[in-house]
Amino acid sequence: MKTEIIKINKPEEVNFILGQSHFIKTVEDIHEAAVTSVAGIKFGIAFCEASGKRLIRYSGNDDKMIDLAKSNALALGAGHSFIIFMEDTFPINLLNAVKNVPEVCRIFCATANDVEVIVCETEQGRGILGVIDGGSPLGIENEEDKKSRMDLLRKIGYKL
């Protein structure tokens, strides 16, 4: 068994969702979930097929996001994993729709942070063990930090 760390390669402002599913239909169903959940979303999805031709299947409506999805899926090479890149929207706007796709088994992360994916490789293939999403905490928030957090959520429209 070999363990490897794969860094997700993306521009700083681009968000993504990394998950695992179980069926080739994932690509079409997540595409439909994206366009019906977030008006005007720009996205790309890639899915690592785990049997049959074992191709990287992909879809989306933005060439830049599709290219990011394909190249990162290829680097991960983990069977039945998928990755969705999105621009000008946050994962929170798409996450529940993706989780409700019948083929989706799990979500590893949904973020714009720097991410490292811990991948294990055996004779059979590759799988995702987990992710390192961003950095470790530097402390505990104080009252000023709490107020700043609450103000930000209201400013960007996620709380009233």
- pLDDT tens for the chain, 160 residues: list them: 999 999 999 999 999 999 999 988 999 999 999 999 999 999 999 999 999 999 999 999 999 999 999 999 999 999 999 999 999 899 999 999 999 999 999 999 999 999 999 999 999 999 999 999 999 999 999 999 999 999 998 988 888 8
Strand, helix or coil for residue 65: helix
CA distance 75 to 130: 15
CA distance 23 to 82: 11
CATH level 2 (architecture), domain 2-155: 3-Layer(aba) Sandwich (3.40)
- Decide if 31 contacts 101 (C-beta within 8 A): no
CA distance 125 to 128: 11
CA distance 87 to 60: 12
List pLDDT tens digits, range 8-43.
999 999 999 999 999 889 999 999 999 999 999 999
pTM (two decimals):
0.93
Strand, helix or coil for residue 153: helix
Strands, sheet with 56-60, edge to edge from the N-terminal-most edge strand: 56-60, 42-48, 81-87, 15-21, 104-111
